[in-house]
Amino acid sequence: MTTAPEGRGGYRAPSNPAPVSGPGALSQRTDGGPTQPAKYISGMPYGQGQETYSNQVAQPLAGNPFSGMGEPTPLMAPSSRPGEPIQSGIDIGDGVSSTAIRLPNQEPTILTIMQRLAEADPSGESELIYNKLLQSGT
């Protein structure tokens, strides 16, 4: 796919795509970015391999968003917290209870719910409600 000349209609590839778009004036394009390479799948019925490959070229699959996280810890690896009881964070057994590790203001408010909804709502209606709540001081 090619980009359209400046000032004309058509697809415009983003120069620096955002991982997640913000609300309203903070919104950015999120398409583009790293993609998986197209792969030909052999052994499929006649024509389907080429059709699948053509579809991958026309609409590339998104790349791995977790590629920079490193390797996961193996299941049988030794503990990275050997002095902490295994039941820490739950309300039975040794260790701190769940109330000790709860973050302050963890309970969601209508304002935080509307903020999250506004970030995900493409219509913009949730953002209007969120802005009204901000203005009213709720």
Q: What is the pLDDT of residues 98-108, one digit of tens each?
A: 776 656 656 77
Of 27, 25, 29, 7, which Cα lies nearest the Cα of 16?
Answer: 29
Task: Match 């701190």 to its residue by tokens.
Answer: 96
Could you give the number of structural domains in the chain? 2
Let me know if residue 73 belongs to a domain.
Answer: no
Q: Which domain holds residue 117?
A: 103-138
Let me know if residue 80 belongs to a domain.
Answer: no
Alpha helices in the chain (DSSP H): 48-58, 98-101, 110-120, 125-136
Let me know if residue 54 belongs to a domain.
Answer: yes
56 HSE (CA, 13 A, CB side): 15
Let me know if residue 2 belongs to a domain.
Answer: no
Q: How far apart are CA 117 and CA 131, in angstroms?
A: 12
Let me know if residue 55 belongs to a domain.
Answer: yes
Whether the pLDDT of residue 59 is over 70: the answer is yes
Give mean pLDDT, residues 74-101.
82
Task: State pLDDT tens for residues 13-58.
Answer: 655 555 566 677 766 656 556 678 888 988 989 999 999 999 988 8
